[in-house]
Amino acid sequence: MNTIVLLSSDSVLLGQLQAAFARQAGDMRVVLADSPEAQDAQVAACWFPPAGSLSALPNLQLVHSVAAGVDHLQSDPSRPALPICRVVDPAHRQGMTEYVRWAVLHFHRGFDRVFQQQRERTWQRHPQQAAVDFKVGVMGLGSLGAAIANDLAGAGYTVRGWARSHKTLPGVACHRGDEQFADFLAGLDLLINLLPLTPATQGILCHATFQRLAQGAVVVNCGRGQHVRVDDLEQALACGQLRGAVLDVFEREPLPVDDRLWHMPGVIITPHMASSASHDCIAQQVALNTRRLANGEPLHNPVNIDLGY
């Protein structure tokens, strides 16, 4: 029988995944790391696997992220050099598009200002800005970034996109590579990050990036927490270079209760909820790849770990 071991430090998620596998993959044995049967596992389904957990599995043949990203696998430095796959949920694109659309509207229409006015009991109308005059940039033009850029362009915003390689999207001014990064950033009112985490993108949301945006710009980070240099963010908010930031991802999750980001003026924190694959979708895709592995068939959604996707 095919055996899948679930590896995560999130006990709630483990229970949810166990229930989903019971519904979607009854032909498979699905166990936790402390089960003796984990030693037989060919596949590890992971979300921030504990350090040393992957190397403790002698029969492992595939490491499977239960998310679209794979950088969380770095939480276990013992990970052996095995194939890696990820989950790609078509509904994930819709959820992320909704989240980013909300963030853009929140600042484009000035809801951040009127919410502050409500706390101060101030009645003041601000001039309404046309969407075409609000310049939005999307970093990362994969399936999620392209969908978001297209959605915002369709809503009338002036949209630019930036990616490692050449992309073409209708209604979006696409830029690529280091040589076009400064032109991409110049004068943006809102910057959205959807990049994978790689050595080249770590810390990309930094002083040099913020300084190229319009005065009083906004940053929305749906990539990874390590993309943000928190000291630079705090400084940019304090001096007014940035008006606000929406952060959905963090270097440590859950965000510790004593983290300064909780109280940083201008920062909106959401608990990694921009979008995620459903538990049933995770179980279906991991089970399918487990069957394909056993049959010697090509795996779905393989990952180049150096590129991060």
pLDDT tens readout for residues 253-295: 889 999 999 999 999 999 999 998 899 999 999 999 999 999 9
CA dihedral for 294, 92, 21, 61, sign (positive or negative): positive
- Which pLDDT score is estimated for 235? 98
Helix (H), strand (E), coil (C) string for the chain: CCEEEEEECCHHHHHHHHHHHHHHCCCCEEEECCCHHHHHCCEEEEECCCCCCCCCCCCCCEEEECCCCCHHHHHCCCCCCCCEECCCCHHHHHHHHHHHHHHHHHHHCCHHHHHHHHHHCCCCCCCCCCHHHCEEEEECCCHHHHHHHHHHHHCCCEEEEEECCCCCECCEEEEECHHHHHHHHCCCCEEEECCCCCCCCCCCECHHHHHHCCCCEEEEECCCHHHECHHHHHHHHHHCCEEEEEECCCCCCCCCCCCHHHHCCCEEECCCCCCCCCHHHHHHHHHHHHHHHHCCCCCCCECCCCCCC
Average pLDDT of every residue of the chain? 95
- The catalytically annotated residue of 175, 224, 229, 243 is 224
Domain at 3-89+276-294, CATH from 3.30.70.330, 3.30.70.20, 2.40.37.10, 3.40.50.720: 3.40.50.720
User: What mean pLDDT do residues 72-99 have?
Assistant: 92
Percentage of residues of the chain with pLDDT beyond 90: 88
Residue 194's pLDDT band (cuts 50, 70, 90) = very high
- What is the model's pLDDT at position 177? 96
Catalytic residue among 109, 164, 212, 272: 272
Residue 237's pLDDT is 98
Confirm or reject CATH 3.40.50.720 for domain 91-269, answering yes or no.
yes
Residue 308: predicted pLDDT: 67
Q: How confident is the model at residue 99 (pLDDT cuts 50, 70, 90)?
A: very high
272 is catalytic: yes
CATH 3.40.50.720 spans which residues of the chain?
3-89+276-294, 91-269
pLDDT greater than 70 at residue 133: yes
- Render pLDDT for 225-250 as a digit per residue (tens, 0 to 9): 999 999 999 999 999 999 999 999 99
pLDDT in tens, 36-76: 999 999 999 999 999 999 999 999 999 999 998 898 898 99
pLDDT, residue 143, reads: 86
